[in-house]
Chains A and B, each alone.
Chain A
Amino acid sequence: MSSGLGGLDRPGAPISPGAWDERSEEWLSTEGAVPKAAAGDVLEAAEGDVLGTQEAGVSGMAEAGVLEAAAGSVPEGVADSRPATVDAPTSDRRTTGPRPAPARRTGADPVKALMHRHRALCERAVDPLEIAAGLEAHGITDRTAARFLHRDVFSLAEEMYARVPRDSDAPHSPRPPDTPRARADWILLTLLPGALCTAAVFALHLTQGRSRLIAAVAGALAVALALRAALSRGPLAGRDRGHPCATRITWLVAYALLGDGLLQAAAAGGPDAPPDGAADAPWPFATAPVLALTLSCVPAAWCAHLLAVRARRKLSSSRALQEFATSAKPLLLGAFALYLGALTALLTLTTTALDEPSAYPQTLALGGLLFLARLLTTHGFTHAPALVLTAAASAEATALAALFAARLPGCAWLATPVETLIGTWGPAAIPTAACGTAALTLLLHATRTLTRASAHATRDQS
């Protein structure tokens, strides 16, 4: 209470059935009608002195709630059939005080009765010490154990542990896994970037000149902040704070917005003026892909959520790690395909709505890359996404830089590969190749890492 030691080893209050109930009485009335030879001895010990205490202190343990069975509740017939030896303890230690109760009847096997009383403990125990700890928490001491003809609680617990019937065909029923739930906060937050981006695109279409520039900058800032918020919680939230790849992602998205136009203009000798947002200008904005990408935050979050829930379920139902890995691979590929499908649909929608040329390959590649990178980061694998995103971003940057560097005297050969590519497949070839290769690399990586069981372990277990 006052020394601060009390909390160290305070045993818990009894939680298992502490006393006799109807079921125990039923059990008693049918079992143990024929006492073994040991019963007399046990009873003699149990019926010892109640209060043989002069200053020496310790007295016998007349309690033994186990032995103190419900004498009155045993059906008459059964009670009568018992041999008379049971209630005739011949203890000459019993000298002081009146007998608190008349003859006590007990089963032939006190340990069995004790096991019945603590059956939850016995069935749960994984080793004898656990039973010993539980018994002690229920107030059983070495002196009580002596009533069961044991030297101490440990050996009593060992007997109980050894006698617990262990049927292997009744396995522990696994708890239903606590799967993550869809929550309103992240659902709403993932809607935010798409909504803000839509507003920004409308603002771009409605404004002109200087105010359009302001609208573009404000819209970009708002979308970036909204994305940050959307990725801070829910199934896309990282394990640790900080966005290590923010710059690379910004560059990739900016390229999706401006890159193709710039590339085309650069190949044609331009650009002569900064982009003014007009669709038919020499350096056009590709707003449809970016709008589709921001809108796809919602399907991305749902796909990640679906993957988490399914993976958790598979986790709890699988017995071997290999088994989990095998069953998790289709899950991952399914979630990825689902996201790509949703992105395609969104892209079709935005392209039609904004009346822009379709840009499926590069947008799908970029979307897949970003989704996989986020998924890996969410599960704690930050190294590979950072590496691959850097590679993709620098590939795009290199293509642009090569075109501009080729204008230097004597360096015209630098532009040849890029121009060949643009000439063969159009300006979309560069981002498609860069992001597509990166996405495939990450997909291969993810099929190896995200199918591991340890990737789906909850961190708060300890």
Chain B
Amino acid sequence: MLVRIGLIAEGGYPYVSGDARLWCDRLVRGLGQHEFDVYALSRSERQEDEGWVPLPPQVSRVRTAPLWAAEDDGVVYGRRARRRFAECYGELVGTLCAGGATDLSGVSGAAEHASATEADRFGNALYGLAELARDEGGLVGALRSEAAVRALERACRARGALRTAREARVPDLLAVAAHLEHALRPLSLDWYEDDGLGSVDLCHATSGGAAALPGLLAHHFSGVPLLLTEYGVRLRTHYLAAPDSSPAVRSLLAALHGRLAAEAYSRAALITPGNGHARRWQERCGADRAKLRTVYPGMDASRFAEVGEAPECAEPDSLVWVGRIEPAKDIVSLLHAFAEVRKEEPKTRLRIVGAPSGAEGEAYLGHCRALAAQLFPDEAEGPHTVGHNPVSFEEIGGPEIPTLADAYASGAVAVLSSVVEGFPIGLVEAMFSGRATVSTDVGAVVEVIGGTGLVVPPRNPRALAEACVALLRDPERRERLGAAARARALELFTVEQNVAAFHGIYLEIVSRTPVRRLVLDEAGDPLPFAVPAEAHVPGRWTERTSRLVARGGPARPPGAPVRATALPATEGAR
């Protein structure tokens, strides 16, 4: 069955410098039996200038739009459009000033009802603005106008507004209005016509935030089901990256992003978080548990095949740490742990493989080198040989470690000492390499490692050392753990599983919530059976003479059984 997928990416695929281009590329290439329409929002002029990655033939079309610059579209609204805009915008900012969608905890009964009403108000206002943008041909000018700022001020001063919103000053109002204009730019796009996102079978938003908005609108206008993939929760990224502005601005923006996320989660047919951490955030922001399917990111396992299948090549007495050198990795604690290890196992060596990231990383690397030199004097085998430090700092690409796989091959035990970690890619690589691992309990480490490695608390060098010593002294256990880790990684974190999971999810969505399109004949009457199930075969085998009209209107409840067609079964073939 051929599915036409609208892949929506923000600042990612197909741009060369995109964020998640690698997995999107693998996904598109891995699902050659489907057809992809790529809708890309670019994040900066530089990104646009750098060009695209080579696209496979299953990508039938690419449409791009800049998020970084919105030209004044010169659309002048009439009186009615102005009133419509003021109403919708006022509703939208009214819900923002009433607080975010995120205070869901412990609410019940009336409070829950009120919160649902607010979410509904937000959604209606958002779609109202989108319809206005579609009817009038643009929204940018209106969002920048004084009317918008006035509506915002009214909402902030209204009864029941947030305390922080009530304190908003004029610069705050302007900042919020500018940010809203930026966030709502996807509303002004011309992607939602019947030959655009209206013609696909399903929208796949590759991240939350701005990429989810076109998917939401396609769902609203044409009933196209939305699949939302989030490897990192956008709302959380927003909190971490929030600029230093006044509390009023931050609370309103937090409310906006919370509301947008909640709306996307509630409208999406399925949501695929990339790990348990993202999943918890999504649940917390109102995603229905039944819609969540964790799809782990896939990584290329072939690079580690040779290393992973020959565990005996490892040096028995060496620990290896691989990663980007930065303070969050807590190499200092690793060095202290290694000092403890050396007390028990004097012949052990530690290889730290990786390049520093940024100026901060450089300084940290220097600090770590100095500490290593202080803690461990150089050692030589005999009185006539040149000594070496038991701790070595190396980079991939050198003569000893030409590739990443060689880095893991050089150690018997892979160590991860971070205090902060998202999805630990280095750990997965170590698992692919069949190495026994000792890691700190941060981020998604426990979820990734399962039972196939040792986990210690972060910032605890003694525990780290004890775990390392235990593994160094027990080659058999090391081997067992390494084999288990490799098996687990091959099961969960390969590209193939990722692609297969998405393939299954696509089919599930298309079968559960198909888009129902009505085909009209010349007289404007609906043609029954004009789009039979067999229409989904590769290639175009029919001429498109009649007009495809997407069926809009209210969304049907998710998961409800859907009949193939509700039209009377009369003979109406073309």
Mark A residues whose CB is within 8 Å of B: 1-14, 50-51, 53, 55-63, 65, 97, 100, 124, 126-130, 133-134, 136-139, 141-143, 152, 154-155, 158, 168, 171-172, 174, 177, 240, 315-316, 318-321, 323-324, 380, 452-455, 457, 459, 461-462
State in angstroms the CA–CA spacing of A212 and B379 once bound together.
Answer: 92
Cβ–Cβ contact A63 & B458, under 8 A: yes
B478 to chain A, nearest CB (A): 12
Q: Give A134 to B451 CA distance when docked, in angstroms.
A: 28
Contact with A along B127-162 (1 / 0, CB 8 A): 000000000000000001110111001000000000
A3 contacts which of B232, B239, B277, B425 (Cβ < 8 Å)?
Answer: B425
- Assembly CA distance A126 to B236 (angstroms): 13
Q: 21 A–B contact pairs at CB < 8 A?
A: A2-B300, A8-B232, A11-B421, A14-B328, A14-B420, A50-B460, A51-B467, A53-B455, A55-B451, A57-B450, A57-B455, A63-B459, A126-B250, A126-B251, A126-B254, A133-B240, A138-B420, A172-B167, A172-B248, A174-B246, A457-B144
**B573 at interface (Cβ–Cβ under 8 A)?**
no
Taking a contact as CB atoms under 8 Å apart, the answer to whether A461 and B179 are in contact is yes
A130-B239, A453-B146 as given contacts; A11 in contact with B231, CB under 8 Å: no
Q: Which A residues are in CB contact (< 8 Å) with B153?
A: 320-321
Taking CB atoms and an 8 Å cut-off, the chain B residues in 425-483 that contact chain A are: 425-426, 429, 441-443, 446, 449-460, 462-463, 466-467, 481
Q: In whole angstroms, how far apart are the Cα atoms of A128 and B177 in the complex?
A: 24
Bound-state CA distance A219–B105 (Å) is 74
A-facing residues in B161-207 (Cβ within 8 Å): 163-164, 167, 169-171, 173-175, 177-179, 181-182, 207
Indicate if B59 sits at the interface (CB-CB under 8 A): no
Contact between A452 and B20 (Cβ–Cβ < 8 Å)?
Answer: no
B246 and A172 form a contact (CB under 8 A): yes
A188 to chain B, nearest CB (A): 29
User: Cβ of B254: which chain A residues have Cβ within 8 Å of it?
Assistant: 126-127, 129-130
CA distance A129 to B327 in the complex (A): 25
* CB of B390, distance to nearest CB on chain A (Å): 23
- Total interface residues on B, CB under 8 Å, equals 96
3 shortest interchain CB distances as A-B pairs: A9-B232, A4-B22, A126-B251
Contact: B456 with A51, CB < 8 Å? yes
Docked pose: A50 CA to B337 CA in angstroms: 14
Inter-subunit contact A63/B460 (CB<8 Å)? yes
Measured CA separation A359–B402 after assembly (Å): 83
Q: Quick one: closest B residue to A455, CB to CB? A: B146
- List 12 extra interface pairs beyond A139-B458, A174-B171, CB under 8 A: A3-B299, A8-B207, A12-B241, A13-B420, A50-B457, A51-B467, A124-B250, A136-B236, A320-B153, A321-B170, A453-B149, A457-B174
User: Are B420 and A453 touching (Cβ within 8 A)?
Assistant: no
Q: How close is B300's CB to chain A, nearest CB, in angstroms? A: 7
Q: What's the Cα separation between A316 and B404 when bound, in Å?
A: 53
Question: For A452, what are the chain B residues with a Cβ–Cβ distance below 8 Å?
Answer: 146, 149
Q: Is there contact, CB below 8 Å, between B72 and A13?
A: no
| Chain A residue contacts of B175, Cβ below 8 A | 461
Contacts of B266-286 to chain A: CB distance below 8 A? 274, 277-278, 280, 284-285
Closest A residue to B238 using CB positions = A133
User: Is B233's beta carbon under 8 Å from chain A?
Assistant: yes
Q: Does B258 contact A (CB under 8 A)?
A: yes
Alpha-carbon distance between A428 and B183 when the two chains are bound, in angstroms? 54
